[in-house]
Amino acid sequence: MKNIFTALLGIVLMLLPNIAFAGKFPGVPKVWTVPAVYQFDEEVTFFFDVTDIGFQEGVDLYLWAWEPTEPDAGNRDNSSDFAKLEYTGNGIYKKTMTPTQYFNCGLEKFDSFAGLWMQLKVKNDGDCTTEFSAPDSRQVFKDFAESGKDILFYPDKFLLKDPLSILVNANELEIGGKKGGLYDLDFTSLNLHSGLNNWEVMQGIKVWLPNVMEKTAFKDLGNGLYKFDMTPFEYYNSTIADDGSIEAPAVPDDYELENMTYIIVPIVNGDWGPGSGDRLQKAGNAPIYPDPAFSYFPQKICALDIVTLTRQWNEKNAGTLKYTITAGSRTITGDMEGNRDKREASVNLLKELEGLTNLSKISLKIETANGITVVNTDIPLISLSEIE
């Protein structure tokens, strides 16, 4: 048993770079890609949300990767400029790359590799995230090709402002009443005629406009697979009118997305060929984050109590909150630790207010890590005479 454990440990260590993890934070970022589904030889942007990881707001961060190859090998203490991430605000960084180019290897290297293993780190060998594997699309393509389905929305319950990929398997798609009927046509492109909420907002196929034909065209991935990438909010807010102009934005920020209606159309002799027929894909529901809420416990306090300050559902970029309590001539400061959902601090008033008498209130101010005041209030104190 000991030998098996030792062997497994050796395999794990082989996947990790030969480095010391100084200042490693326990969390990993939330990671997503644009497009939602990608191939390793096409351009993709990785987004990393490091909210609550522990980095200072907007600090320069770099990508440290070692699988399938180690592009910045030997530079752990001085990351190269090519590995630097772009900060987009609100705790989110991004890195745009073509994986085969960034990792300097061919597609065959990606056939059976262990995943895109990486960390985010500061320039020197200091603060960094825990190791994580970024999403790749190998399993999505494999499962779809073996599913027997003709169309896949990824994610299947898509949201208005999130990346969406639509996959088509021409071998399974029924065109002209025949599965695989696309191959009977001398088509020049496969295009998407689509709209939101039962065609309420539409980007149609307009064969006389080259920019529309380019915008609505699927990408041919080979082996009968086609892919279309979009973010619905951006795609339908730049619809192209019949005269080639960009129509006024038609999708407000608070648009209630219910579905996408669409037809997949091969273009034959410069015009519509037989299409897939009207289809409908239901959308998902975006979670609504609650408004911030501050409370303290106990609700009635005196100068002998330990009071707990709590602020829930904080702003995304609030970071660690800082509190300042003013009581007469005395000032008490500290941090409210936790995560975005809940940050707390406990203050021992018996200790902190020792020697102060006749206090009727304490004044409390809570600020974000960027110095923005989010709570500014007075908390009444019960007179000690009332509890004796």
DSSP for residue 19: -
Query: What pLDDT score does 7 carry?
Result: 42
Predicted pLDDT at 3: 44
| Residue 373 scores a pLDDT above 90 | yes
**pLDDT on residue 386:** 65
**pLDDT 10s digits, 104-123:** 999 999 888 888 999 999 99
User: Three-state DSSP class for 366?
Assistant: strand
Q: Token pair for residue 25? A: 């934070």
Instruction: Give the other-Cβ count within 10 Å of 378's Cβ.
Output: 11
Residue 56 has pLDDT above 90, yes or no: no
pLDDT tens-digit map of 343-364: 999 999 999 998 887 889 999 9
The three-class DSSP label of residue 85 is: coil
DSSP secondary structure letters along 183-223: GGS-EEEEEEEEEETTTTEEE---TT-HHHHHHTBPEEEET
Q: According to the model, what pLDDT value does residue 263 have?
A: 96
Q: What is the mean pLDDT of residues 370-375?
A: 92
Q: How are the residues of the chain apportioned to helix, strand and coil, as percentages rounded to the nearest 5?
A: 15, 40, 45
pLDDT in tens, 150-165: 999 999 999 999 999 9
328 backbone φψ class: left, alpha, beta (φ>0; ψ -120 to 50): left
pTM flag (> 0.85): no
Six token digits for residue 287: 């979670």
Query: CB–CB of 235/266 below 8 Å?
Result: no
Q: How far is the C-alpha of 312 from the C-alpha of 309, rounded, in Å?
A: 10
pLDDT reported for residue 22:
52
> Could you give the domains of the chain?
2-134 (no CATH), 138-282 (2.60.40), 293-387 (2.60.40.10)
171 backbone dihedrals φ, ψ, rounded to 5°: -70, -25
Residue range 27-35: mean pLDDT, rounded: 94
Structure tokens at 175: 């065109």
